[in-house]
Amino acid sequence: MSAEKPTANRPVNRRGFFCQGLRELLRPLVEAVEPVEQAIGEFSRAMGAIPAWQGSPPQPTPRWLRPPGAIAEHAFIDTCSRCGNCVRACPAQCIRIDPTAAAGNGAPYIDPEIMPCVVCDGLICMRDCPSGALVPTALGLIHMGTAIFNSHTCVRSRGQDCTICIDRCPLGASAIELRGQTVHVLEEGCIGCGVCQHACPTTPKSIVVVPRSALTG
């Protein structure tokens, strides 16, 4: 289609004339690109790179740090009676239950930012659980989660000689150590108590505990 010619009664709109001509010039390119973009989108969705949901994307499931000796997450939620025995038994008062179920799905959980598990003598919470949601477990076999260290936010990256996370760990060298100038978490020894996260002086925390349910699904 050619651009409309001006008449004596119609002034020349140079900008419109130019835009119309440019659209006509680019039309073959746009028509060629659109099928390619559609094909790439379909391929990406098939490969899982682009979610194929409609509307709002699904929200990630919150993961909660459970008390020591907790069984697998889904079984824990179903088995726990919410009696509060573990909360009352904990000498550190780190175990919490939210009666509104907004936190922890209403089941016992630990927030290391408020108070971590101190791995008390006897691990009383496991002994006092009547439902079987917490199972008496040897210290070395407890798996609440695993600490993850971020060297970029650690004050050691700015030349400060901080070893608070190492010094406070109740498991000591079996769970965390200094290798050269870098903090190193030993995954096989870390039980995920959260003491290191609680003690870390940086904001955001340079070491945080990832709950077991987030690691194992």
Dump pLDDT digits (tens) for 44-55.
Answer: 444 454 454 455
Q: Under CATH, to which class is 73-216 assigned?
A: alpha beta
pLDDT for 47: 45
pTM tops 0.85: no
SS3 state of residue 202 = coil
What's the CA gap between 104 and 66, in Å, rounded?
A: 8
Q: Judge contact between 102 and 111, C-beta under 8 A.
A: no
Q: Could you give the CA distance from residue 35 to residue 133 in angstroms, rounded to a whole number? A: 55
For the chain, which residues make up each domain, given as ranges? 13-50, 73-216
**Tokens 């390119």 appear where?**
29
- pLDDT tens digits for range 185-199: 999 999 999 999 999
